Amino acid sequence: MNNSSILIVDDEEDIRKLLAIYLKSEGVHVLTAANGLEALAVLERSKVDLIILDIMMPRMDGIQACMKIRQENNMPIIMLSAKNEDIDKILGLNVGADDYIAKPFNPLEVVARVKSQLRRFKDLNDFRPTSENEIKINGLTINTATHEVKVDGMEVKLTPLEFSILEILTRNRGIVLSSEKIYTEAWNEPFRNSDNTVAVHIRNIREKIEVNPKEPKYIKVIWGVGYKVEKYNNSVNT
């Protein structure tokens, strides 16, 4: 986590200061913004490795900001919310958030989540030998070095977390993976009764890679057990 640059976006100055104290103690460079518009301005002039983004803010709220940021950037985004309805909204909408934390929170939990997201993002970006770069499954191509995903030659944009989940499923094609297995590998932290979290991310991935998400070609649900990607005869690593 040392030398990472983290942007804290919250209209409450006390929260920005509290999180900054804990993150700086981990050797992190901290940037701050009081709303979504300020956050976008910071991103234009500074390199940021992770964003902590509150939902309820003036001028531009966190959900609008997250969707705007995702048009140009793929760093992890952790969203903060004081309302359960907002968390439901994060899960229900494909806004591109990688994780969420409910207020009030323990700053140590935030630090732990930040470490987990940065570690996962670094693992995703580590270069791999050419022989392992591509996974091809029946028209779906996943490049694990460039993080490009294509369906029948057309590029599909996934968030870092969505890419991680899809890679886990395709590397284990033909095997049913439980929500717990997917969560612990993709989030790189203990499972927190997060069946719904995994289900929503799977749904968002399907919306992007399936021609008809209601009749999925790639990611199948095995009710009561988990998810799997079929092992087609032309499934290869090249």
The CATH homologous superfamily for domain 5-125 is Response regulator (3.40.50.2300)
Q: What is the pLDDT of residues 190-230, one digit of tens each?
A: 887 767 888 889 999 999 999 888 888 899 998 889 999 98
Per-residue pLDDT at 235 exceeds 80: no
195: left (phi > 0), else alpha (psi -120 to 50), else beta? alpha
**Residues 6+ away with beta carbon under 8 Å from 162:** 201, 204, 205, 208
Domain residue ranges in the chain: 5-125, 130-237
Q: What is the pLDDT of residues 77-112, one digit of tens each?
A: 999 988 766 665 666 456 778 888 888 899 999 999
pLDDT given for residue 85 in this prediction: 64
pTM, to two decimals:
0.65
- The yes/no answer on whether domain 130-237 falls in CATH 1.10.10.10 is yes
116: left (phi > 0), else alpha (psi -120 to 50), else beta? alpha
